[in-house]
Amino acid sequence: MRDRRPLYLMTPALGWLTAFMVVPCLLILGLAFFRRGLYGGIEYTLTWENIRLVFDPLYAGIFLKSAWIAGLSALIAVVLGYAAAYAIAAMPRRHQPLLLFFAVLPFWSNYLVRTYAWIVLLNREGLIVHLARLLGFEGELPSMLYTETAVVVGLVYNYLPFVILACYAPLSRLNPEVSEASRDLGAGGWTTFRRVVLPMTVPGIATGFTFVFVLSIGNFVTPALLGGGQFQMIGNLVYAQFLTANDWPFGAALSIFLIAIMMGLLTLQTFASEKASGGRNA
Amino acid sequence: MFRTPLTGLALIAALTSAASADDLVISNWDGYMAPDAIDAFNTDTDNTAELVLHGTNEEIMGKLIASKGAGYDVVFVSSPFAEVLNKLGIAETLDHAKLPNIANLYPAANELKHDPGNAFSVPYAWGTTGLCYRADLIDETPDSWWDLLTPPDDLKDKVTMLATDRWLLAAAQLANGYSVNTTDEAELAKVKEDLISAKQTLLAYDDTTFYAKLVSGEADLVQAWDGWCNYGIAENADIKYVIPAEGSDLWVDTMVIIKGSEHKDAAYAFVNWMLDAEHHRWAAENILYKVPNKAAMEGLDPSLIATFPNMGITPEDLLGYEQLLDVGEAQRAYSRIVSEIKAAD
C-alpha cells in the first residue's frame, strides 16, 4: 500500500489555497463575462464587452504604461540589488548575516509608512529641500514628488530587499575555486565575472526581476501616494472599477489580464531557472 | 466624499465589523457624528443601535446594492447616491409624522432638487466647493475657476484638485458655465480638454490631505469643500476660502432609512434624535460643516462664524447653486473621462 501521509500533510494547504485563491479567481473570471447594472451590481446576461474594452486604446495604454514602469523599476532594482548582493557575498562570512539583516530591516515596518516616508523626504517643504537650504542652496529645486520618477523610486526602494536576497543566494553558493580556476586559465576579472559568475547567478537575477516586476505592475498604493493620483497604473484602474466606478465586471476583466501577465512571467521565470540549473548539473 | 484622512482605516474597520442582527445598524463616515452619539441615542430612547463605518459613498453603495439594503437600517450618503437608493427601491418613503424634529430644518432644506419635500432622505450637512488658498503666499486673490485650471506662473505645481469624479469635472464644468450635471458630448469634450491641460500646472489630485498641503506650504491654492478648508483655517489664519465668480455646486449629505429595515421605528427614532437642535449642532461645532438645521445653527457661537466665514453662508445662497444629481447612464462617460484625464501625460 502506498504511503498516504504526504497526501494528508498537503490537504490543509491545498484546501486553503483552493478555497481562498482558486475559487475567488474563478469567480472573478466568471464575473468578467456579465454586464454591469446601471447603478453597479451585476446583470446576469453574457457579454464579451468587458474583454473587448480591455483592448480599447485607453486601457491598453494604461497596461503598457504600467508594464513600462514595472520593467524600469525591476531593471534598476536588479542592478542595485545585484551589486549589493555581490558586495555582501564578498565580505567575510561572519559579517554576512548582519549585512543581510540590515538589507531586510525596512521590511519590519509597514509598507504604507515606508511610502509616506518618501513624501516627507521629497515634498517641496520636505527634508531634502530643507537640507539643501541649510547648505546654502537658494532658489527652487525641481519637483521631485508626484512624478513618474517618484513612483519608480518608491517601487525600487520597497522591493530592493527581495532582489538582494534573491541574488545573494546563488552568489553565496558559488565555489570560489571556480573563479580562481578562471583566472588561472587567463581570464581577467571582468571576463571572469561576465563569463563565469554572471551565468551561474542568472536564476537569482531572473527571480529578483520577476518579483519586482510582478509586485510593481499590480501596485496601486505607490502610484496613488507618490504619483499624486496624476497617472494611473493598472492597479489603480482595477481599484477604481471595484471601489468607485462600481463596475465589477470590467474590473474583473482587467484583473484577469493582470493575473495572466503575472502567471505568464512566473512560468517563464520557473523555466529559465530550471534550464539554468539543469545546464549546470549536466 | 471622503470624510477623514483615515479612509483606509475606516474601510478596514467597516470590513471587519460585523453587526448583530438584533441591533439597529447605522452606517456613517468615520467621525461624521459625535463619538458618543450612538450611546447617547441608546440611553435616550432605550434602543440598541450599532455604528458601522464606510470610507466612501461608493463603498456603502456597493454593499447596499449587493444586499438590496439588507443588514442596514440608516445610512449616511451624499445626495446623488440617495437618489439612486430611491430609484432602486431601497430607500424608505418617509413618514414625516414620525420625524417631528424635521420642523427644525430651514424651509430651504425642504426644497432640495434631489428630493423636494424630503420624501426619501433627510439632509444632514450641506455646503459648497470652492477655492481654498494661502492669502500670504498668493499675489492676486483668486476669484475664478480658471485661476485653478490655468494658474499664473508662480502657482505652477502649487495647485491641487479633488480626485473624486464629480467634483473634478465640476471645476471645469463651472468654469465653462455648464451645468454640473451636463451630459452634452461637446461640453464634456471641452471639460476633458481643459482638465487635461490643467494637469500641466497641477501638483496632485488630492481628496484627503489638501488642507495639510496648504498648511505646510506645499500647495498655495486648492480645490476644496468649504468644511475641509476650515480645517486649514483652524491651523493657519492666512488660509481663506472663496467661491469663484462662476459659482459652486451645492453638495448635500443625507440620512436615508432602508425600506426593508426590520427596526423601522428605531430607525425613525434615530433620524429624529439626530435632528434635535443640540445633537445636530455637534457637526457644525466640531467638524465645521454647515447643517441645514435652523434651530441648531441659530444656537451656534457667533465667534465660530467670525473665524470660519463660510459657516455663515445662508441657506438662500446655498440654494442658488446647482446640486450634483444622479446622471444615470452618463456616469459611465464621466468615469471614462476621468480615466482619460488621469492617463494623459
User: pLDDT of A69-118, one tens digit each?
Assistant: 999 999 999 999 999 999 999 999 999 999 999 999 988 889 999 999 99
At residue A240, φ and ψ (nearest 5 deg) are: -65, -40
Q: What is the DSSP-derived secondary structure letter of residue B258?
A: B
Three-state DSSP class for residue B58: helix
Average pLDDT (A24-28) is 94
CB A141 within 8 A of CB A135: no
At residue B5, φ and ψ (nearest 5 deg) are: -65, -5
Helix (H) or strand (E) holding A132: helix A127-134
Average pLDDT (B145-149) is 97
pLDDT, position A250: 94
Question: How confident is the prediction for chain A on average, in pLDDT?
Answer: 90
Radius of gyration of chain A (CA): 23
pTM score: 0.87
Task: Say what percent of chain B tops pLDDT 70.
Answer: 94
Residue A187 has pLDDT above 70, yes or no: yes
pLDDT, position A138: 77
Grid coordinates of B22? 438584533
Task: Say what percent of chain A tops pLDDT 70.
Answer: 98
**Nearest-CA distance from B195 to chain A in Å?**
12
Which residue from A minimizes the CA distance to B344?
Answer: A231
Residue A165 has pLDDT above 80, yes or no: yes
CB B147 within 8 A of CB B198: no
pLDDT, position B235: 96
Residues of A in contact with B14 (CB under 8 A): none
pLDDT, position B14: 45
Q: For testing the chain B interface, which of A59, A230, A231 should be mutated: the one with the most B CBs within 10 Å?
A: A230
Least CB–CB distance from B343: residue in A40, A61, A242: A61
Grid coordinates of B69? 439594503
Return the higher-pLDDT residue of A195 and B256.
B256
The identity of residue B344, as a single letter, is A
Q: What is the pLDDT of residues B236-263, one digit of tens each?
A: 999 999 999 999 999 999 999 999 999 9
Task: Say what percent of chain B tops pLDDT 90.
Answer: 87
Query: Are B62 and A243 within 8 A, CB to CB?
Result: yes
Q: Are strands B49-54 and B24-29 parallel, antiparallel or unpaired?
A: parallel
Q: Are strands A42-46 and A34-36 parallel, antiparallel or unpaired?
A: antiparallel
CATH 3.40.190.10 location in chain B: 7-126+250-312, 128-249+325-343
Neighbours of A46 (CB within 10 A): 8
Q: What is the pLDDT of residues B199-236, one digit of tens each?
A: 999 999 999 899 999 999 999 999 999 999 999 999 99
Q: How far is CA A66 from CA A155, A235, B258, B322, in A?
A: 12, 9, 41, 38
Average pLDDT (B300-325) is 96
Q: What is the DSSP-derived secondary structure letter of residue B150?
A: S
A50-56: long-range contacts, CB 8 A cutoff, minimum separation 24: A50/A249, A50/A250, A50/A252, A50/A253, A51/A253, A53/A250, A53/A253, A54/A253, A54/A254, A54/A257
Three-state DSSP class for residue A58: helix
pLDDT, position B11: 44
**Nearest-CA distance from A222 to chain B in Å?**
14
Neighbours of B136 (CB within 10 A): 12
Q: Which residues of B touch A (CB under 8 A)?
A: 8, 56, 58-59, 61-62, 65-66, 84, 87-88, 157-158, 160, 163-165, 199, 202-206, 216-218, 328-329, 331-332, 335-336, 339-340, 342-343, 345
Residue A33 has pLDDT above 70, yes or no: yes
Average pLDDT (B87-103) is 97
At residue A259, φ and ψ (nearest 5 deg) are: -65, -40
ipTM value > 0.85: no
Average pLDDT (A209-228) is 94
Least CB–CB distance from B216: residue in A125, A240, A246: A125
Residues of A in contact with B199 (CB under 8 A): 230
Tell me the fold of B7-126+250-312.
D-Maltodextrin-Binding Protein; domain 2 (3.40.190)
**Nearest-CA distance from B343 to chain A in Å?**
5
pLDDT class for B5, splitting at 50, 70, 90?
Answer: very low
**Nearest-CA distance from A225 to chain B in Å?**
10
Q: For testing the chain B interface, which of A36, A125, A128, A246 should be mutated: the one with the most B CBs within 10 Å?
A: A246
Q: What is the pLDDT of residues B150-172, one digit of tens each?
A: 999 999 999 999 998 899 999 99
Q: Which sign, positive or negative, has the C-alpha torsion A124, A129, A130, A133?
A: negative
Query: Are A246 and B202 within 8 A, CB to CB?
Result: no
Q: What is the pLDDT of residues A123-143, one digit of tens each?
A: 888 888 888 888 888 777 777
Q: Which residues of A touch B (CB under 8 A)?
A: 37-41, 58-59, 61-62, 65, 112, 123-125, 143, 146, 228-232, 236-237, 240, 242-247
Residue A243 has pLDDT above 90, yes or no: no
Which range is least confidently modeled, A47-51, A193-197, A278-282, B245-249?
A278-282
**Nearest-CA distance from A144 to chain B in Å?**
10
Residue A277 has pLDDT above 50, yes or no: yes
pLDDT, position A279: 53
Residue B3 has pLDDT above 60, yes or no: no
Query: Are B66 and A41 within 8 A, CB to CB?
Result: yes
Query: Are A243 and B335 within 8 A, CB to CB?
Result: no
Query: How would you label B47-73 residue by residue, b for 16+ Cβ within 10 Å and e otherwise?
Result: bebbbbbbbbbbbbbbbbbeeebebbb
pLDDT, position A42: 87
> What's the CATH code, domain A50-281?
1.10.3720.10
Least CB–CB distance from A39: residue in B65, B158, B164: B65
Residues forming beta bridges with residue B49, ordered by sequence position:
B24
Query: Are B206 and A246 within 8 A, CB to CB?
Result: no
Residues of B in contact with A39 (CB under 8 A): 61, 65, 84, 87-88
Q: For testing the chain B interface, which of A65, A118, A244 should be mutated: the one with the most B CBs within 10 Å?
A: A244
CATH class name, domain B128-249+325-343: alpha beta
Average pLDDT (B290-310) is 96
Query: Directed axis angle between helix A148-173 and helix A96-104, to 10°?
Result: 150
Q: How far is CA A94 from CA A89, A91, A100, B57, in A?
A: 11, 8, 11, 56
CB B128 within 8 A of CB B251: yes
Query: Are B56 and A247 within 8 A, CB to CB?
Result: no
pLDDT class for A278, splitting at 50, 70, 90?
Answer: low
pLDDT, position A156: 96
Rounded Cα–Cα distance for residues A260 and B21 (Å) = 41
Q: What is the pLDDT of residues A175-184, one digit of tens each?
A: 889 989 998 9
For cell 430609484, the residue is: B87
Most confident listed range (A122-126, A246-250, A269-273, B168-172): B168-172
- Chain A and chain B share a number of CB contacts under 8 A equal to 82
Question: How confident is the prediction for chain B on average, in pLDDT?
Answer: 92
> Could you give the dihedral angle defined by the CA atoms of residues B158, B159, B163 and B164, in that order, rounded to the nearest 10 degrees?
150
Q: Are strands B221-225 and B159-161 parallel, antiparallel or unpaired?
A: parallel
Helix (H) or strand (E) holding B53: strand B49-54
Q: What is the pLDDT of residues B9-21, one digit of tens each?
A: 444 444 444 444 5
Residues of B in contact with A243 (CB under 8 A): 56, 58-59, 62
Q: What is the pLDDT of residues B180-197, one digit of tens each?
A: 999 999 999 999 999 999
Q: Residue A25: which residues within 8 A CB-CB, separation 6 or more?
A: A259
Residue A160 has pLDDT above 60, yes or no: yes
Which has the closest alpha carbon to B211: B189, B234, B195? B234
Query: Are B202 and A39 within 8 A, CB to CB?
Result: no
Least CB–CB distance from B204: residue in A65, A125, A229: A229
Query: Are B61 and A246 within 8 A, CB to CB?
Result: yes
Query: Are B329 and A230 within 8 A, CB to CB?
Result: no
For cell 502567471, the residue is: A263
